[in-house]
Amino acid sequence: TDRFIIMPGRRPYRQLIDGVPRCAWLVPEVFRKNYSFRAANGDILQSTYPKSGTNWMQYITQLIVKGGEPINYVEFIRDVRLVEYTDFADWEPTLPVRLFSTHLPLRRETMNKEAKYIYMARNPWDVCVSMFRMLTDVSIYRFEDGKFEDFFEAFIESDLGYGDYFDHVAAGYALKDEPNVFFATYEELQMDTRRTVLRLAHFLGEKYGRALEEDEGMLENVLEYSKAENMRKVIVIDLSASEIPEWNNIMARNKIISKHGYEGDKNKFCIVKEAKIGSWKDYFTP
């Protein structure tokens, strides 16, 4: 009888660090150094699985802290540190609080009761589709011509370098009732932005909550500047250069480009896309 051999499909590139699949962008030495990072008193740390509204929530947080003042790209990346990606030993933030962002799950043993934590979750179907779009666009993943079916298998098997989606969200959800944890979903932020922004502001500090409650203009600025169409003009990554040395080293080493580019420039990648709920319906079959 004939035997049919089913060859495994191609998968996005990820690296192994100490035997564990990790994101292609990581510098192993920096990752090992910061893996067990513990936020200091007063720090604000945001945790998300990739493509769960990471930059949206971080942008809103910065807008609140800055009193609704507009933020350009240099300010956006200067005033937050990505825990596992960058070295921040000599970092001097310009904001009154230190902001951190990570794609690592929250772990109770590395948390500080005097720090604040933001966790943002998004439904897995939209996360999967949004990740597929990004990983087929940016060359570092070596998946520009990849198929969704192959990507989906890698996503389900937690083989993308970010750990298991469901474990990640479960860890955040388990902490949602802690007084120093703010848990929100992409969907509630999308459907009731105003209410979620006010809730976040009060969590960050009563002075921020009161400021937005008492100044309608300031609140409107936060809501307006954080709309997808406005963030799309700001959060555009220059793949050929960066304000952060570690990013420069990574991009120079990998010669990263964007397949679709930004306004025709393949050296630029706009990280904000549709920013809507339900895109998964265009990819998944009933």
pLDDT tens per residue across span 189-210: 999 999 999 999 999 999 999 9
At residue 33 the predicted structure's pLDDT band, cuts being 50, 70 and 90, is very high
Instruction: Write down the mean pLDDT value for the chain.
Output: 89
Q: What are phi and psi of 100, to 5 degrees?
A: -130, 150
Which residues, other chains included, contact 39 with Cβ-Cβ below 8 Å and sequence gap of 6+? Answer: 45, 98, 100, 111, 112, 115, 117
Percent of the chain with pLDDT over 70: 87
Q: Tell me which of 139 and 165 has the higher pLDDT.
A: 165
User: What's the predicted TM-score (pTM) here?
Assistant: 0.90
Identify the top-confidence range among 113-122, 244-253, 262-271. Answer: 113-122
At residue 154 the predicted structure's pLDDT band, cuts being 50, 70 and 90, is very high
Please give the radius of gyration of the chain, using alpha carbons only, rounded to the nearest integer.
Answer: 19
Q: For residue 142, what is the enclosing H or E element?
A: none
Structure tokens at 257: 């480009």
Helix axes 193-204, 54-65, angle to 10 degrees: 60
pLDDT, residue 5, reads 44
DSSP 8-state symbol, 119:
E
Using alpha carbons only, give the angle 275, 104, 241 rounded to the nearest 5 degrees.
65
pLDDT, residue 275, reads 59
Q: Read off the amino acid at residue 18.
A: D
CA dist., res. 250 & res. 242, Å (int):
10
Distances (CA, A) of 137 to 131, 262, 268: 10, 11, 11
Mean pLDDT of 138-157: 92
pLDDT, residue 4, reads 44
pLDDT at residue 113 is higher than 70 = yes
Residue 169 half-sphere exposure, CB side, CA atoms within 13 Å? Answer: 14
At residue 276 the predicted structure's pLDDT band, cuts being 50, 70 and 90, is low
Q: Which fold does the domain 15-282 belong to in CATH?
A: Rossmann fold (3.40.50)
CA dist., res. 251 & res. 241, Å (int):
8
Q: Of 229-233, 253-257, 279-283, which gets the smallest average pLDDT?
A: 279-283
Give the residue among 270, 253, 134, 122 at the shortest CA–CA distance from 189: 122
Mean pLDDT of 223-229: 93
Distances (CA, A) of 45 to 38, 42, 80, 139, 150: 10, 10, 9, 29, 33
For the chain, the domains span 15-282
Mean pLDDT of 213-225: 97
Q: Of 54-63, 82-91, 96-105, 120-129, which gets the smallest average pLDDT?
A: 82-91
Structure tokens at 216: 């309608």
Mean pLDDT of 245-274: 73
CA dist., res. 66 & res. 73, Å (int):
14
pLDDT, residue 247, reads 64
pLDDT, residue 9, reads 56
Mean pLDDT of 40-60: 97
CB 32 within 8 A of CB 83: no
Give the residue among 244, 237, 193 at the shortest CA–CA distance from 219: 193
